[in-house]
């Protein structure tokens, strides 16, 4: 009788990758997007993010919809992850057709570069220093993502990326009217105290160039808060802390940030397959 072997699952990100550890924790995911929220606001191409009106209308909701795409790519099998990436490309193409202009390649690279940077910075702020090998692994994953999105001019390795990242930070950021408007909307969405905590967290996370352009406070007062949060994790009080940090309408979405499997499991253990996935408003991150 012929034996049929089970074909092993091929993953976009291998189960042992440090990227899965980082993107499978709400702690680091929230920090990644706190840092990205700062840099998004400074990007010279931020007008593209304003075009549909979804980002300024609901910046926190956009965070959660973007996380779903990111976790799909990190944790789903290769074919389904590629389908999610293809969906992102199609939606971006639709926005380009509506506006009658192409999104600059530099805008895509800026977003990719900030995700790489804040993936590293967030983990190192909360956990430990990453090794050179782990950083190379992180870059390899995002290089694969960028290649799948057909981006041009991607640096070949982490060292080359560091140099290009420094150049992009100098050339592609400015504090303009949309920067001020987006931060105003952050404050409205979060309320005064949460907004102050956001600024303190961003001050600890972002590169000096971003901190300078935004005029962020030193953030020194947040360092003891980070230490206290680590203690809260040991006491299993971290979920309560994170719940308080989010406005009430978004608290029920917090568990989803920790829903990604830490080891390779079927993509069905995550929500909707990539080929059917849409954000609530039908747009990509």
Chain centre to alpha carbon of residue 282: 18
The whole-model pTM stands at 0.87
Q: Quickly count: other Cβ atoms within 10 Å of residue 138's Cβ.
A: 23
CA gap 201, 31 in Å, rounded: 8
User: What is the DSSP code string of 121-154?
Assistant: HHHHHHT-PPPHHHHHHHHHHHHHHHHHTT-SS-
Strand-pair partners of 11: 77
Nearest-CA neighbor of 70 among 113, 107, 20, 27? 20
Strand-pair partners of 77: 11
Residue 30 backbone class (left: φ over 0; alpha: ψ -120 to 50; beta: rest):
alpha
CA gap 41, 47 in Å, rounded: 10
Per-residue pLDDT at 182: 93
Secondary structure percentages of the chain, helix, strand, coil, to 5: 70, 0, 30
Nearest-CA neighbor of 165 among 202, 198, 126, 138? 138
Query: What are the boundaries of each domain within the chain?
Result: 18-219
Residue 129 backbone class (left: φ over 0; alpha: ψ -120 to 50; beta: rest):
beta
Per-residue pLDDT for the chain (285 aa), expressed as one digit of tens each?
455 555 567 999 999 999 999 999 999 999 999 999 999 899 988 887 777 777 788 888 888 888 888 888 999 999 999 999 998 889 888 888 988 888 888 888 998 999 999 999 999 999 999 999 999 999 999 999 999 999 999 999 999 999 999 999 999 999 999 999 999 999 999 999 999 999 999 999 999 999 999 999 888 899 999 999 999 999 999 999 999 999 998 888 888 888 655 444 443 444 443 343 343 344 445
The answer for residues whose C-beta is within 8 angstroms of residue 62's C-beta and 6 or more apart is 54, 55, 285
User: What is the DSSP code string of 41-94?
Assistant: HHBTTHHHHHHTSHHHH-HHHHHHHHHHHHHHHHHSBHHHHHHHHHHHHHHHHH
Per-residue pLDDT at 218: 85
CB-CB contact of 55 with 62 (8 Å): yes
The answer for residues whose C-beta is within 8 angstroms of residue 103's C-beta and 6 or more apart is 45, 48, 92, 95, 96
The Cα-based distances of 227 to 224, 230, 231, 248 in angstroms read 5, 5, 6, 25
């Amino acid at each position: 009788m012929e034996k049929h072997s089970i074909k092993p699952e091929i993953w976009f990100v291998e189960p042992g990758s440090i990227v899965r550890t980082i993107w499978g924790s709400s702690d680091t995911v929230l920090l990644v997007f706190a840092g990205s929220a700062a840099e998004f606001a400074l990007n010279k191409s931020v007008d593209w993010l304003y075009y549909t009106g979804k980002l300024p209308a609901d910046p926190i909701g956009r965070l959660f919809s973007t996380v779903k795409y990111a976790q799909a790519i990190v944790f789903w099998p290769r074919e389904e992850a590629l389908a999610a990436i293809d969906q992102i490309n199609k939606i971006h193409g639709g926005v380009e057709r509506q506006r009658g202009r192409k999104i600059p390649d530099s805008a895509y690279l800026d977003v990719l570069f900030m995700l790489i940077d804040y993936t590293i910075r967030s983990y190192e702020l909360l956990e430990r220093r990453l090794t050179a090998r782990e950083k190379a692994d992180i870059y390899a994953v995002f290089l694969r993502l960028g290649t799948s999105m057909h981006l041009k001019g991607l640096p070949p390795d982490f060292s080359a990326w560091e140099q290009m990242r420094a150049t992009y930070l100098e050339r592609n950021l400015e504090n303009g009217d949309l920067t001020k408007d987006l931060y105003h909307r952050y404050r409205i969405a979060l309320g005064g105290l949460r907004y102050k905590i956001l600024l303190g967290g961003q001050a600890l996370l972002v590169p000096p160039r971003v901190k300078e352009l935004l005029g962020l406070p030193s953030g020194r007062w947040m360092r003891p808060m980070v230490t206290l949060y680590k203690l809260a994790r040991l006491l299993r009080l971290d979920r309560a802390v994170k719940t308080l940090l989010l406005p009430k309408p978004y608290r029920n979405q917090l568990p989803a940030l920790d829903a990604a499997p830490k080891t390779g499991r079927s993509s069905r253990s995550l929500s909707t397959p990539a080929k059917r996935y849409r954000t609530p408003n039908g747009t990509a991150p």
